[in-house]
């Protein structure tokens, strides 16, 4: 069987050992794109350069902006002495997820437990949100909100793996629950037999 010579089919930016950046095209090559190059002139870019001398805000009555009033619990890193001047208040911590976040924010950001606890708090918060929906009489469409249909369409293998892992976790949990329940029933029967 003869080997086909692929040297003529090489990509222009790869010579077999080193990758080369593609050649730059002149501005005229992009002129057909609406709006292309509008920010090339630095005068049209208000954020360039980011720092100006003198600074943009001249003759203001403060050196630092006034802090936002704190009406809800606001977390901040243990590495930071206080909260930032502005912060979000739309979803204050509450419930079990809030208690888990309390523990997480007592740990340093370089501690892996900090991040794992925050991930756990997010998962708990999802379950709490479903419970709140049910209490308000709204039945959430969990499969649609989790993107199950899209994942089935675009990543069926990944969806199957997740389903198998979830089934295994539920199965092991159910097995352990049954074992504990059977042990408890067995102890009760032994105690009753001893009393008789």
The model's pTM is 0.48
Distance between CA atoms of 114 and 42, rounded to whole angstroms?
A: 42
Contact in structure between 124 and 104 (CB atoms under 8 Å): no
CA 144 to chain centre: 19
pLDDT tens-digit readout, 124-149: 998 998 888 889 998 888 778 888 88
Locate 175 and state its tokens.
Answer: 């097995």
Burial (0-12, 13-18, 19+ Cβ within 10 Å), 100: buried
pLDDT of residue 8: 47
29-38, 97-106, 115-124: segment of lowest average pLDDT: 29-38
The residues spanned by each domain of the chain are 70-84+93-140, 141-196
Distance between CA atoms of 66 and 85, rounded to whole angstroms?
A: 7
pLDDT of residue 100: 94
CA 80 to chain centre: 22
Which residues lie closer than 8 Å to 75 by C-beta, 6 or more apart?
Answer: 93, 101, 105
pLDDT tens-digit readout, 37-93: 777 777 777 677 666 666 666 677 777 778 888 888 888 888 877 888 888 888 888
Locate 97 and state its tokens.
Answer: 């997820």
CA angle, 137 then 142 then 144, to 5°: 120
Contact in structure between 67 and 85 (CB atoms under 8 Å): yes
């Amino acid at each position: 069987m003869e080997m086909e010579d692929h040297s003529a089919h090489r990509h222009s930016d790869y010579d077999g050992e080193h990758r080369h950046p593609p050649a730059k095209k002149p501005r005229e090559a992009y002129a057909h794109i609406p709006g292309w190059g509008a920010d090339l002139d630095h005068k049209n870019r208000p954020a360039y350069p980011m720092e100006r001398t003198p600074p943009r805000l001249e003759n203001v009555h403060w050196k630092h902006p006034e802090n936002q009033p704190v009406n809800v619990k606001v977390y901040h890193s243990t590495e930071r002495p206080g909260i930032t001047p502005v912060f979000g208040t739309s979803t204050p911590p509450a419930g079990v997820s809030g208690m888990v976040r309390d523990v997480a924010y007592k740990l340093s950001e370089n501690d892996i437990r900090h991040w794992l606890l925050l991930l756990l708090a997010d998962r708990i918060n999802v379950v709490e949100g479903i419970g709140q929906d049910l209490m308000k009489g709204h039945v959430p469409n969990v499969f649609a909100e989790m993107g199950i249909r899209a994942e089935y369409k675009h990543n069926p293998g990944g969806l199957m793996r997740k389903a198998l892992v979830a089934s295994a976790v539920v199965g092991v949990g159910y097995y352990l629950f049954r074992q504990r329940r059977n042990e408890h029933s067995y102890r009760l029967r032994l105690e009753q037999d001893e009393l008789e």
